[in-house]
C-alpha cells in the first residue's frame, strides 16, 4: 500500500510543479480592477549605459509616455505635441483594459540681445552704450490618445494588442520689443534680430491653433520581470491628419508716402496641412509599466 501511495505522489509532482508555476505567473500578471502607470524606458537604459561607459554630462530625461513620435517632420520644430505624457491603463478584466496617453505643454521663453544705442551714436560716433531688445515665445498645447487593449497569454510574457483615437493641438506666439524706436530720422533702427521685411519689423507673430486627429492600432509584448512590473515594447500603425493654423504678423515701419510711423497686420501663412499613415511608436517604443 505504501508503494502505491508513493507511486501516486511521484506521478503528481510534475503537475504540482506546473500548478505552482501557474499560480506564480498569475501573481505577476494584471487582474481586473488593476490600474497601471507607464514610463518610457529608453532614457533609463540610456542613462544606465552612459554611467557604465563613463559618459560625462549624463542626464535622465523624458520619463513619460511618448504621445506622438517623430512622424510630424515639418511640424517637429514647432513642437506640435508634448515630448512626454502621462501613460495609464485600467483593467476592465484580466485580458481587457482601457488605456490613455495624455500630454500637456506650456512654455514661455525669453530671449535678450544687446544693440547699440542709436541716439547716443548719432550724438557721439564713439559711444559704446548698449541697449536690450527682447523676444518672448509662448507655446501651449496638449496631446491625447484614448483606446482599449486586449491581452493574450497566461505566462509572464503576454501579447498586447490595442486600438485608439488621437487628438492634439498647439498654439504659438512670438513677441518682440525694441530699445531703438522707429522715427522719422531713424527709419531703420538697429535691432538684435533680423526681423525687417520690406521696411517693416516684426512686433508680434502668431500661429493659430494647429490640430491633429486620427486613429491608431498597436501590437506588442509585455514581459513581467516582477509581480505587477513589466517591460513592454510595441509598434503602432497610425492614420492621422494635421491641420496647420494660419500665421499672422503684426509689424511696424516708416511709411514714406504718409510721412509717419505705422503698424500693420498681415496674413503671412495660410497654414500647412499634412496626412500621415504608417508604422510608428506611440506610448513609448520601450516602456516600463507598474500595476497596482
The pLDDT tens digits for 256-288 are 999 999 999 999 989 888 888 887 654 446 788
- Secondary structure (3-state) at 280: strand
pLDDT at 251: 97
- Residue 221's H or E segment, with its range, is strand 200-226
**Rounded to 5, what percent of the chain is helix, strand, coil?**
15, 55, 30
- What stretch of H or E contains 193? none
182 vs 47: which has the higher pLDDT:
182
pLDDT at 57: 52
pLDDT tens sequence across 183-233: 999 999 999 999 999 999 999 999 888 888 889 888 889 999 999 999 888
Provide CB contacts within 8 A for 137, sequence distance 6+. 107, 108, 109, 111, 172, 173, 174, 175
Q: Which residue has the higher pLDDT, 244 or 82?
A: 244
Share of the chain above pLDDT 90, in %: 46
- Alpha carbon 143 to chain centroid, angstroms: 8
- What is the Cα–Cα distance from 216 to 128, expressed in whole angstroms? 59
Residue 174: its pLDDT value, please?
95
Rg (CA), the chain: 29
Sign, CA torsion 5/6/11/17: positive
Higher-scoring residue by pLDDT: 2, 106: 106
How high is the pLDDT of residue 71? 42
Band of residue 61 on the pLDDT scale cut at 50, 70, 90: very low
**Are 65 and 100 contacting, i.e. CB atoms less than 8 angstroms apart?**
no
Query: pLDDT value at position 51?
Result: 55
Out of 59-68, 115-124, 243-252, which region has the weakest mean confidence (pLDDT)?
A: 59-68
Mean residue pLDDT across the chain? 79
pLDDT band (50, 70, 90) for residue 25: low
- Looking at residue 271, what is its pLDDT? 86
Does the pLDDT of residue 11 top 70, yes or no? no
Amino acid at each position: 500500500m505504501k508503494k502505491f501511495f508513493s507511486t501516486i505522489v511521484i506521478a503528481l509532482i510534475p503537475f504540482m510543479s506546473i500548478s505552482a508555476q501557474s499560480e506564480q505567473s498569475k501573481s505577476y500578471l494584471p487582474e481586473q480592477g488593476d490600474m497601471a502607470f507607464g514610463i518610457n524606458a529608453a532614457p533609463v537604459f540610456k542613462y544606465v549605459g552612459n554611467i557604465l561607459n563613463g559618459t560625462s554630462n549624463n542626464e535622465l530625461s523624458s520619463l513619460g509616455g511618448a504621445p506622438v513620435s517623430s512622424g510630424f517632420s515639418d511640424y517637429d520644430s514647432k513642437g506640435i505635441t508634448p515630448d512626454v505624457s502621462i501613460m495609464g491603463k485600467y483593467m476592465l478584466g484580466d485580458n481587457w483594459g482601457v488605456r490613455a496617453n495624455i500630454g500637456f505643454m506650456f512654455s514661455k521663453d525669453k530671449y535678450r540681445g544687446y544693440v547699440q544705442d542709436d541716439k547716443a551714436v548719432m550724438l557721439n560716433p564713439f559711444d559704446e552704450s548698449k541697449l536690450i531688445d527682447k523676444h518672448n515665445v509662448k507655446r501651449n498645447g496638449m496631446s491625447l490618445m484614448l483606446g482599449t487593449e486586449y491581452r493574450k497569454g497566461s505566462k509572464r510574457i503576454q501579447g498586447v494588442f490595442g486600438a485608439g483615437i488621437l487628438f492634439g493641438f498647439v498654439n504659438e506666439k512670438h513677441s518682440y520689443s525694441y530699445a531703438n524706436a522707429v522715427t522719422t530720422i531713424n527709419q531703420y533702427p538697429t535691432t538684435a534680430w533680423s526681423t525687417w521685411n520690406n521696411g517693416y519689423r516684426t512686433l508680434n507673430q502668431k500661429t493659430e491653433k494647429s490640430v491633429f486627429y486620427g486613429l491608431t492600432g498597436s501590437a506588442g509584448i509585455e514581459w513581467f520581470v516582477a509581480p505587477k512590473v513589466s517591460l513592454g515594447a510595441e509598434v503602432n500603425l497610425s492614420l492621422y491628419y494635421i491641420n496647420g493654423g494660419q500665421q499672422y504678423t503684426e509689424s511696424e515701419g516708416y511709411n514714406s508716402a504718409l510721412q509717419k510711423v505705422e503698424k500693420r497686420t498681415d496674413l503671412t501663412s495660410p497654414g500647412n496641412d499634412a496626412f500621415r499613415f504608417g508604422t510608428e511608436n506611440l506610448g513609448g517604443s520601450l516602456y516600463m509599466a507598474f500595476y497596482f
